Amino acid sequence: MTATFENRVALVTGAARGMGLATAKRLLDRGARVAVNDVSRDQIESVAAKLGSNALAVAADITNRAAVDAMVTKITDHFERIDVLINNAGIVAPTAFEDIAEDEWRRVLDVNVNGTFFCSQAVAQTMKANGYGRIVNFSSTAGKNVSTVGGASYTTSKAAVLGLTRASAKELAPHNITVNAVCPGMIDTDMLRVAWSEDRIQGYIPSIPLGRMGKPTEVADLVCFLASEEAAYITGAAVDITGGELMV
């Protein structure tokens, strides 16, 4: 049975491309009204226009708490509620441990951890008032092991997202709000292709047991499941989607 989201409102951060865009499209296809976020106003407004009348562009820097609060207010003014939050926005930096500059370290943790925290905290109040909520955070196999693509800053940030997922899941559970994380492995996205050459990608693929990279749409399907009624008894979980790269 395919999960449906009729009468639900979702916010997807980092929705201008990749897994965020794929997730926004899946939610829209299944009946949700979706607020799509990115830091670039021009880019996200262009994306929303292509997605149709049930998509609302909300440009905001998720590392800025005031901007996040304003974004949530805009969404609730427009759609009256937020039922689902997908914390997809993130950045990766491959710099070697001893070469990471302070600014780079802070920036990666700011986007990947603080952004996830600010958005989750901002939507929690409206979800509690409605007695319902689904939050899905994007971690990574890096959160459980060590990143293949990113450096120490990325691995650290994605491990922190798993801790945030567990802690917020426990506190929000009495309000019928579930919080889970997805942990993608090697997914064919623009972010990966900027970080790695095609030769390096092709050289890595044989190490994946299923023999290929994952698709953003496959991650989107998992996210939609965790955000659906079918996953109502799942919270505090970190679900791998890796093609067998990580087997626990």
Nearest to 59 by CA among 13, 93, 19: 13
Catalytic: 204? no
* 165 token code pair: 């997922």
Catalytic residue, candidates 132, 154, 204, 233: 154
Residue 240: CB partners within 8 Å, gap ≥ 6? Answer: 141, 144, 183, 185, 246, 248
For residue 106, CA distances in Å to 40, 61, 118, 153 come to 20, 15, 16, 8
Give ∠ CA 39-45-49 in degrees, rounded to 5: 150
Nearest to 238 by CA among 131, 108, 124, 145: 145
Q: Among all residues, which ones are annotated catalytic? A: 154
